[in-house]
Structure 1
């Protein structure tokens, strides 16, 4: 059994490629089942966020090309179109990559905490879909434990840096004083909640929360003295917004160029600062062509993020030491599974020998031989049977000069240790 990761992220692929390869909540279960129906693939977990899409699989003889082909076919894309943007990791590197991802060491924002929740959700979805089994189950549980240790034992998460924080930081750079401004937040997930918290802490004048589910919008808006609307009402309120931050799971844009044009006319061309954190994008890319609109995507936030993450570099080095230690721990468990089968076979073989010799000893007693004589026969015969094959192999290794095998036999049987006691 082998492990493989195939994926792409903000480092390897631009947003227009990433958004075409996302797995929304409406298709991810079907995708998981389709993936595990591929030849030689036994278990699968799909991690799909705004910055990455990654497939974690256990397989027998599956290849990068096979999984790449499946990914392209599922999304209606030619494999040649996406292959240049993909990376893949096998076995130990697969384990290391997942530990880094869950610990926030591979994120656009170094050490950001949201990714661990997204990894947990990805595993839960796979578990509910019955596409995760013994191997990925053990790997992901191990991952959660390591990510928690990284968060506890290092300062990786102490600085308030996230995509949401970067978006608000950029808004503060542009407007300086937020107290007289209105922010329209589209979505009600964790990223939007973080954006709302940062805006509120920096004294934004008013918050409007738009979401497909109005109840969730009300819950979030209520925490920050905000106002809730449905997505269909955005066109009625966009003109009020000086700041727009959007992060939904919608497969199609929720804010179009025409809607923004109408809002700008009502605002008499007062500028709007817009940040589209979603992948696929929530705001049509053509909006960036409009005057008086400052539209940023997650990729545009990279420079802001870099300025806020320097303090985490030292903590990241400490975190990698923890990751490397636990990579070896998991690989040790994985390697031990090979030995389990061998041990079971060896025990069955020994027990079969024992039963055969015991039966012969019992027959001797029944035929009139003394128990002492039969016990001596049992001990002598069983010892010879158990030692015959190892003795023959060790003798042959000595004859042919196989010193490595002789050393391995010495380690296995602890021969020197026994004879010196």
Structure 2
């Protein structure tokens, strides 16, 4: 069986492709069930964020193409379009990739902390969907352990920086008097909470939180002394807002070009700065065509992110070293588990031979045969049965000049010091 990591991310696919391949929370349960039903897939987990969609599977070696076809079919995307931007890793490389993802080394913002929480959610979803077996369970648990080591032993988590921080940082560069701006935040999840926190630290005091569930908006608004509204009230709030930052899990855009045009007219064309962090996008791309709107997506935050990357590179180098050690430890544990499975199968086979020989011996004793003769026959039969398959394999190895097998057999079978008379 092969450990496979297959996916797309911000480095291989545009936001237009990523939003088509993303799994919404409502899709995830059915998707995991379908993926587990793909022939040759034994275990499966799905990680889907604004910057990546990745499938982690235990599969037979020929299962990769079937998984790619399934992903294409599930999202209604031509498989060739997906193949052109997908990447895949196997076994050690797959484990290394997952660990790099967990500590933020593969993120747009180097070392960003949110991805570990998202990965833990993906792990829990896979567990609830019965997608995890021994292989992925061991890998995820070990990955979380390595991520904890990286966070505690390197500076990669100091002064946390995220896409939310990058969005606020970019906005602060555009407005001369940033603190007097009013911000409309669409969504009420972890990303928007981070945005609100960074805005407050940057001096912004006037904030509006819009969410599908008004009660959730009110919870977040109370923390930041902000105004809470429902999504239906966004058109009115847009008129009063200088900054719009959106991050929801909505499958369709929330803010369209017509809504923005009407708001700009009432604002007498005072400009609005917008950042759409969501994938799929919350703001129609056509909104960016308006003269008085400055619309950015997660792909446009690269300048801020590169600056952050330079500051964290030294810590990243330390993290890479810890990950390499983590991969070695995982591989060692995996080999032990693999050897344990082989030992179990070998012992089961030996036990079956023992039971069969014992039954025959007991039957002879029941017929009144001489016990000494029964014991001799038992020992002879058991020895022959135990040695038959190894003997055949040794002859075949000799005929094929498989010196590696012969050397292994000698090490395994001829340790005379362990044989006691």
Cα separation, 2, equivalents of 1:196 and 1:121: 23
- In structure 2, do the counterparts of structure 1 residues 45 and 237 end up closer, same or farther at CA, with 3 Å as the change threshold? same
- Higher alpha-carbon deviation: 389-398 or 131-140: 389-398
How far does residue 96 in structure 1 lie from its aligned partner after superposition?
Answer: 1.4
Q: Deviations over 1:352-377 (max 9, x none)?
A: 666648986996xx97889xx99999
Cα separation, 2, equivalents of 1:225 and 1:238: 19
Structure 2 counterpart of 1:207: 207
Q: Is the 8 A contact 1:178 1:205 kept in 2?
A: no
Cα separation, 1, equivalents of 2:392 and 2:84: 54
Cα separation, 2, equivalents of 1:96 and 1:248: 30
Q: Deviations over 1:50-71 (max 9, x none)?
A: 1011111222254332222211
Q: Deviations over 1:285-326 (max 9, x none)?
A: 111111121111000001111112212112112112222222
Structure 1 counterpart of 2:135: 135
Q: Is the 8 A contact 2:40 2:63 kept in 1?
A: no
Cα separation, 2, equivalents of 1:49 and 1:299: 14
Q: Are 2:292 and 1:288 equivalent residues in the alignment?
A: no
Q: Are 2:186 and 1:196 equivalent residues in the alignment?
A: no
Q: Give unmatched runs, 5+ long, in structure 2.
A: none
Q: Is the 8 A contact 2:45 2:132 kept in 1?
A: yes
- Higher alpha-carbon deviation: 58-67 or 115-124: 58-67
Q: Deviations over 1:127-172 (max 9, x none)?
A: 2222333322222222222212211121111133110110111111
Structure 1 counterpart of 2:86: 86
- In structure 2, do the counterparts of structure 1 residues 38 and 404 end up closer, same or farther at CA, with 3 Å as the change threshold? closer
How far does residue 406 in structure 1 lie from its aligned partner after superposition?
Answer: 4.5
How far does residue 177 in structure 1 lie from its aligned partner after superposition?
Answer: 3.1
Q: Are 2:76 and 1:76 equivalent residues in the alignment?
A: yes
Q: Is the 8 A contact 1:43 1:58 kept in 2?
A: yes
Structure 1 counterpart of 2:32: 32
How far does residue 215 in structure 1 lie from its aligned partner after superposition?
Answer: 0.9
Q: Is the 8 A contact 1:161 1:309 kept in 2?
A: no
- In structure 2, do the counterparts of structure 1 residues 125 and 354 end up closer, same or farther at CA, with 3 Å as the change threshold? closer
How far does residue 185 in structure 1 lie from its aligned partner after superposition?
Answer: 0.7
**After superposition, where does 1:315-354 map in structure 2 within 5 Å?**
315-351=315-351
Q: TM-score, normalised by structure 1?
A: 0.88
- Higher alpha-carbon deviation: 106-115 or 31-40: 31-40
Q: Is the 8 A contact 2:5 2:55 kept in 1?
A: yes
Q: 3-state DSSP class of the match of 2:20?
A: coil
How far does residue 124 in structure 1 lie from its aligned partner after superposition?
Answer: 1.4
Q: Are 2:52 and 1:57 equivalent residues in the alignment?
A: no
- In structure 2, do the counterparts of structure 1 residues 205 and 343 end up closer, same or farther at CA, with 3 Å as the change threshold? closer
Q: 3-state DSSP class of the match of 2:198?
A: helix
Structure 2 counterpart of 1:239: 239
Cα separation, 2, equivalents of 1:94 and 1:400: 35
Q: Deviations over 1:377-399 (max 9, x none)?
A: 99999789867876887799789
Q: 3-state DSSP class of the match of 1:33?
A: helix
Q: Is the 8 A contact 1:5 1:90 kept in 2?
A: yes
Q: 3-state DSSP class of the match of 2:120?
A: helix
Q: Deviations over 1:101-133 (max 9, x none)?
A: 111111001111101111111121222222333
Q: Is the 8 A contact 1:410 1:416 kept in 2?
A: no
What is the RMSD of the two structures over their aligned residues, measured on CA atoms?
Answer: 3.0
Q: Is the 8 A contact 1:39 1:62 kept in 2?
A: no
- In structure 2, do the counterparts of structure 1 residues 255 and 402 end up closer, same or farther at CA, with 3 Å as the change threshold? closer
**After superposition, where does 1:126-165 map in structure 2 within 5 Å?**
126-165=126-165
How far does residue 346 in structure 1 lie from its aligned partner after superposition?
Answer: 3.0
Q: 3-state DSSP class of the match of 1:309?
A: helix
How far does residue 277 in structure 1 lie from its aligned partner after superposition?
Answer: 0.4
Q: Is the 8 A contact 2:110 2:308 kept in 1?
A: no
Structure 2 counterpart of 1:187: 187
Q: TM-score, normalised by structure 2?
A: 0.88
Q: Is the 8 A contact 1:45 1:122 kept in 2?
A: yes
How far does residue 329 in structure 1 lie from its aligned partner after superposition?
Answer: 2.6
Q: Deviations over 1:164-201 (max 9, x none)?
A: 11011111111143221111111011111011001101
Q: 3-state DSSP class of the match of 1:135?
A: helix
- In structure 2, do the counterparts of structure 1 residues 114 and 347 end up closer, same or farther at CA, with 3 Å as the change threshold? same
Aligned length: 416
Q: 3-state DSSP class of the match of 2:282?
A: coil
- Higher alpha-carbon deviation: 339-348 or 182-191: 339-348
**After superposition, where does 1:336-375 map in structure 2 within 5 Å?**
336-351=336-351, 356=357
Cα separation, 1, equivalents of 2:141 and 2:400: 47
Cα separation, 2, equivalents of 1:17 and 1:29: 22
